[in-house]
A and B are shown apart, each in its own frame.
Chain A
Amino acid sequence: MPVLSVRGVTKEFPGHRAVDDVSFDVEQGQLFALLGPSGCGKTTTLRMIAGFETPDAGEISVNGAPITHLPPYERRVNTVFQNYALFPHLTARQNVEFGLRYNRDAAHTVDAILDLVQMGHKASSRPTQLSGGEKQRVALARSLVLAPDVLLLDEPLAALDPNLRKQVRGELKALQRRTGVTFLMVTHDQEEALSMADTVAVMNAGRLEQVGPPEELYVRPRTRFVAGFLGAVNWIDGIGVRPEAVRVSRDGDLGRESIVTAITFLGNCVHVEAELAVGVKIVCEIPRLQSDFQKGDRIRVWWRECDEMRPEA
């Protein structure tokens, strides 16, 4: 049985349907990412699971028990907010203790959980004295100490310094693995979702486009939207090919003949833009060290059939 089940959930706001008939399951112990552009309804979905919004239709259940109409304080689901929402009048330790007095059996002691997130030494600091990363760790401890069935994370890396984000990705995932708590994370960053999640669900305009393991979504997108949102795509005669799957050579008789129209240097790789026929362009991503092409060169481009993407919609 999935730990979290969302069935046909719909939410209307005045003037638009924010979430439209969304269904998915999250398995116990997974790191599940809800991915989509801003305004796609992913945050509203998260807020309905947390209990801050009520669906107009559909059902949400945790461990088989419906929670759709329970208030937030009666759900065994906790949230790490985008700005962490630490109580400014309480110390780090008091923030972690906040939820403990409300009739829940804590799985960890406050000290153990503070040590787990490496904040033991700052237990008596106030939120204003903490850095972004430290605030996030206190917010995680504050939720994890209650041993939630599902931990919801709303854009957990968005408020962090960009050069800290990659490091925190790994830390978050390690924390999830160590605690065994099911994480449901909302993000608009496809690299974040692909690198961290066990399962990714892509949302667009209120609808769920596709759910699956990161690699499956990247390689076998079911819709053009998913293909394009997860990475760059060349669309040729209705077939999608990712730039890094395109092979290039100067001679031979493989593939199709084309003319280089532009070269873009990107550091570790080079984008070779070529014209296959009038108006049909293709971008090929090749390692910097293998590129000695010039604008105007005649080249041949090809790709393996298994790298072709054929979305249904």
Chain B
Amino acid sequence: MTPRFWLLLPSRALMALLFAAPMVIVVAYSLLTRGAYGGQGEPWTWENYARLLDPLYGEIVLKSFWIAALSTALCLVLGFPLALFIARARSRKTLWLGLVTLPFWTSFLVRTYAWMFLLRDTGLINTILLGLGLIAEPLPLLYNDAAVVLGLVYGYLPFMVLPIYAVLERLDPWLLEAAEDLGAKPWQVVRRVVVPLAKPGMAAGSVLVFVPCLGAYLTPDLMGGGKSILIGNVIQNQFTTARDWPFGAALSIVLMAIVMALLWVALRKSRGAEGGLL
């Protein structure tokens, strides 16, 4: 046995034990029948997948895609200028990067509760607006789709900023000067040089934001107030209140298959262009 084999053994064992084995279990569960008191048992069946044909789930999947796509787009619109600003900053780069990653120092749950404290009817924003007499009734800031998108954008923005920053940081500053030298105004430089060259970072950031947004259940649960049901919440419910593990497993597998198919298409498309996806 070569040293290479032994050095790779721990990570291979870890992947097999903690990644491959659970995947096999989930696939197996998705093909079993729900037990009377939760759990699962025989007979083997396609029934769980057949249930997914119900238009209700199609709608939820579509809505989840819409919310995840919207959040990703907003992260892109907000994250690109921020990444560009940090990459081009002459000083205090570390400070700005530190501030971007600062939220990671506390738990996501605590930060979501903080947002709820800000947005709810008796929260900080409504209290101030009411106190100033600007509004008569509290604004419905929480428990709707907009609040979910806000929570997702807030939570995943750093995953968009950091990969774009990493690309822009390595961008040759002479390229920007060359573009200006050739007659491009600053915004034209951004459009014709910076954005095309930042594409690999934007693609990586979009994947890092889109995928977790699609499966998110904490933010829609807390900030959507149960009114905004997404696919993540449906899956979560099957494993908790509904006690239908086989159906939850089938949902997970289908969601994962869709994400992987999308990534595969995105990867193939970007292979054609310069650089590739990541």
Check if A and B associate. Answer: yes
- A 75-97 to B, binary, CB cutoff 8 A, 1 in contact else 0: 00011011101111100000000
Would A50 and B181 be within 8 Å (CB), given that A88-B197, A89-B196 are in contact?
yes
- Of residues 176 through 222 on chain B, the ones whose CB sits less than 8 Å from some CB of chain A are 177-185, 188, 192-193, 196-197
A98 within 8 A of B: yes
Count residues of B near A (Cβ-Cβ below 8 Å): 18
Residues of A within 8 A of B185 (CB): 71, 73
B6 within 8 A of A: no
Whole-angstrom CA separation of A265 from B172 in the bound complex: 45
Tell me the smallest distance from the CB of A237 to a CB of chain B, in Å: 49
Q: Are the C-beta atoms of B182 and A146 separated by less than 8 Å?
A: yes
- Of residues 26 through 82 on chain A, the ones whose CB sits less than 8 Å from some CB of chain B are 50-52, 71-73, 78-79, 81-82
Tell me the smallest distance from the CB of A267 to a CB of chain B, in Å: 38
Q: Are the C-beta atoms of B182 and A99 separated by less than 8 Å?
A: yes
A13 within 8 A of B: no
- Of residues 225 through 273 on chain A, the ones whose CB sits less than 8 Å from some CB of chain B are none
Tell which of B178, B183, B184, B197 touches A85, judged by Cβ atoms closer than 8 Å. Answer: B178
Would A142 and B182 be within 8 Å (CB), given that A88-B197, A89-B196, A89-B274 are in contact?
yes
A295 within 8 A of B: no
Report whether over half of chain A's contact residues are helix, strand or loop; otherwise say mixed: loop
Residues of A within 8 A of B174 (CB): 81-83, 85
Q: Are the C-beta atoms of A98 and B192 separated by less than 8 Å?
A: yes
Most A CB contacts (10 A, CB to CB) among B172, B178, B185, B192 go to: B178
Tell which of B177, B180, B193 touches A87, judged by Cβ atoms closer than 8 Å. Answer: B193
B16 within 8 A of A: no
Count residues of A near B (Cβ-Cβ below 8 Å): 25
Residues of A within 8 A of B278 (CB): none
Tell me the smallest distance from the CB of A104 to a CB of chain B, in Å: 6
Q: Are the C-beta atoms of B180 and A85 separated by less than 8 Å?
A: no
A103 within 8 A of B: yes
Whole-angstrom CA separation of A104 from B183 in the bound complex: 9
Q: Are the C-beta atoms of A78 and B181 separated by less than 8 Å?
A: yes
Tell me the smallest distance from the CB of A254 to a CB of chain B, in Å: 57
Residues of B within 8 A of A104 (CB): 183
Q: Are the C-beta atoms of A81 and B178 separated by less than 8 Å?
A: yes
- Of residues 95 through 133 on chain A, the ones whose CB sits less than 8 Å from some CB of chain B are 98-99, 102-104, 126
Whole-angstrom CA separation of A99 from B192 in the bound complex: 11
Q: Are the C-beta atoms of A78 and B180 separated by less than 8 Å?
A: no
Residues of B within 8 A of A71 (CB): 180, 185
Smallest Cβ-Cβ distance to A102: which chain B residue: B183
Q: Are the C-beta atoms of B196 and A72 separated by less than 8 Å?
A: no
Tell me the smallest distance from the CB of A146 to a CB of chain B, in Å: 7
Most B CB contacts (10 A, CB to CB) among A86, A87, A126 go to: A87
Q: Are the C-beta atoms of B180 and A103 separated by less than 8 Å?
A: no
- Of residues 149 through 188 on chain B, the ones whose CB sits less than 8 Å from some CB of chain A are 172, 174-175, 177-185, 188
Smallest Cβ-Cβ distance to B177: which chain A residue: A52
Tell me the smallest distance from the CB of B141 to a CB of chain A, in Å: 42
Would A98 and B177 be within 8 Å (CB), given that A85-B172, A89-B274 are in contact?
no
Residues of A within 8 A of B183 (CB): 73, 99, 102-104, 146
Residues of A within 8 A of B193 (CB): 87
Whole-angstrom CA separation of A85 from B176 in the bound complex: 9
Tell me the smallest distance from the CB of B97 to a CB of chain A, in Å: 24
Residues of B within 8 A of A83 (CB): 172, 174
Whole-angstrom CA separation of A146 from B181 in the bound complex: 11
Smallest Cβ-Cβ distance to B172: which chain A residue: A85
Tell me the smallest distance from the CB of A246 to a CB of chain B, in Å: 45
Residues of A within 8 A of B182 (CB): 73, 78, 98-99, 102, 142-143, 146
Tell me the smallest distance from the CB of B69 to a CB of chain A, in Å: 26
Tell which of B172, B184, B197 touches A73, judged by Cβ atoms closer than 8 Å. Answer: B184
Whole-angstrom CA separation of A146 from B184 in the bound complex: 13
Whole-angstrom CA separation of A87 from B196 in the bound complex: 10
Whole-angstrom CA separation of A146 from B174 in the bound complex: 19
Q: Are the C-beta atoms of A87 and B175 separated by less than 8 Å?
A: yes
Smallest Cβ-Cβ distance to B188: which chain A residue: A102
Residues of A within 8 A of B181 (CB): 50-51, 72-73, 78-79, 143
Tell me the smallest distance from the CB of B261 to a CB of chain A, in Å: 28
Whole-angstrom CA separation of A89 from B175 in the bound complex: 11
Tell me the smallest distance from the CB of A95 to a CB of chain B, in Å: 9
Tell me the smallest distance from the CB of B272 to a CB of chain A, in Å: 13
Smallest Cβ-Cβ distance to B195: which chain A residue: A89
Residues of A within 8 A of B177 (CB): 50, 52, 72, 79, 81, 85
3 pairs of A and B residues whose beta carbons are closest in the complex: A102-B183, A99-B182, A85-B178
8 A-B contact pairs sorted by A residue (CB < 8 Å): A52-B177, A52-B180, A73-B183, A81-B178, A82-B174, A102-B182, A126-B274, A143-B182
Give me the interface of A with B, judged by CB distance under 8 Å: 50-52, 71-73, 78-79, 81-83, 85-89, 98-99, 102-104, 126, 142-143, 146
Using A72-B181, A88-B175, A142-B182 as known contacts, list a sample of 19 further A-B pairs with CB atoms less than 8 Å apart, ordered by residue number in A. A72-B180, A73-B182, A73-B184, A79-B177, A81-B174, A83-B172, A85-B172, A85-B174, A86-B178, A87-B178, A88-B197, A89-B197, A98-B182, A98-B192, A99-B182, A99-B184, A102-B183, A143-B181, A143-B182
